[in-house]
Amino acid sequence: MMRSVFPVITVATALFLLWYVAAAALNAPWAHDKAKRAGIELSFGELVSDTWSQEKPKLPAPHQIGAEMWKTTGAMVQRGRAFSKRSLLYHSWVTFSSTALGFLLGTGLGIALAIGIVYNRAMNMSVMPWVIASQTIPILAIAPMIIVVLNAIGISGLIPKAMISMYLSFFPVVVGMVKGLRSPEAMQLDLIHTWSASNVQIFWKLRLPSSMPYLFASLKIAMAASLVGAIVGELPTGAVAGLGARLLSGSYYGQTIQIWSALIMAATLAAILVGLIGLIQRVTLSRMGMA
């Protein structure tokens, strides 16, 4: 444990130092500008402290982001307003719900397509190119159209955003599960064949269990892709709620600190969700005797 803590702390410290230096360098022109207009001369110390405390810095310093994040999470919880519209927790929750729904839909679609590809000759020959083509379309281009089309048939709110998440997350699941369902060796297939097992039995007893390590690897990627999809899906909806909305409204008003705290929040959310999959993976595979 201690052996891994030391390198992590070293790297983190180096990153923070680099960040503070970069913040000072990037925000210095604005500090000079202000000083020139006010007709005062800045000492080095004053300059640095100004670059780290601007209201709309080009690059906010870590402590500014930390303060903003505390203001919009912990402090709001203390005041009992954890789910007010100004709270990052509320926006994270909005993003999380479309991420989770999109992830579940995407996983379901991915597994269904993979089963089709493995078991159906026509699908095997035809589906994969379309699946790959679907991912070559920039999501930013297709997201507004999904929102508009679904809105036109009366579907709005959570579902359109979840659809965009699904669009991104089904892909790694298809690829991983096709590989996983095909992972049993020829000998194992011959063996189960000698017992004249039905296709359904072969699926449940051999192919599906064999695919588990592949499935979990895919789910981790799918989870991260779902989150990206959810955030992108929030942009064209008019930036009402969600981490994507915070990013967009922050950029409208040049609120770089708000943008960065939404970014950090999104990264934290992603880390938690992917970590959760990792935990389920460890428990499942060790109970299956495969880890």
Binding site for another protein (CB under 8 A): 185, 187-188, 190-197, 201, 205-206, 209, 212, 288-290
| Residue type for position 262 | A
Kindly report each contact of residues 263-271 with a partner whose C-beta sits within 8 Å and lies 24 or more positions away, as own/partner. Answer: 264/65, 264/69, 265/69, 265/88, 265/91, 265/92, 266/95, 266/227, 266/231, 269/92, 269/95, 269/96, 269/99, 269/227, 269/243, 270/223, 270/224, 270/227
CB of 262 to another protein, least distance (A): 42
**Residue closer to another protein, measured from CB, 41 or 185:** 185
- Which residue, 204 or 253, is less far from another protein as judged by CB? 204
3-state helix, strand, coil in the chain (%, to 5): 80, 0, 20
Query: With 0-12 CB in 10 A as exposed, 13-18 as middle and 19+ as buried, what is 128?
Result: middle
CB closer to another protein out of 38 and 187: 187
The CB density around residue 131, as the number of other CB atoms within 10 Å, is 17
How near is the Cβ of 9 to another protein at its closest, in Å? 37
Nearer to another protein, 75 or 191 (CB): 191
Q: How far is the CB of 288 from another protein (least distance, A)?
A: 4
CB of 190 vs another protein, minimal distance in Å: 5
Please state the closest distance from residue 284 (CB atom) to another protein, in A.
10
Pick 99 or 211: Cβ nearer another protein: 211
| Cα 153 to Cα 151: distance, rounded to the nearest angstrom | 5
For another protein, give the closer residue by CB, 202 or 259. 202
What whole-number distance in Å separates Cα of residue 79 and Cα of residue 69? 15
For residues 163 and 232, give the distance between their C-alpha atoms in angstroms, rounded to a whole number. Answer: 11
- Looking at the Cβ atoms of 116 and 184, the one nearer to another protein is 184
Q: Measuring CA to CA, which residue among 221, 270, 233, 263 is closest to residue 246? A: 263
CB of 243 to another protein, least distance (A): 38
Whole-number minimum distance, CB 106 to another protein, in Å? 26
**Closer residue to another protein in complex, CB, 211/261:** 211
In 3D, which of 71, 80, 23 has the Cα closest to residue 51?
23
| Torsion angle (degrees, nearest 10) of CA 265, 270, 272, 278 | -170
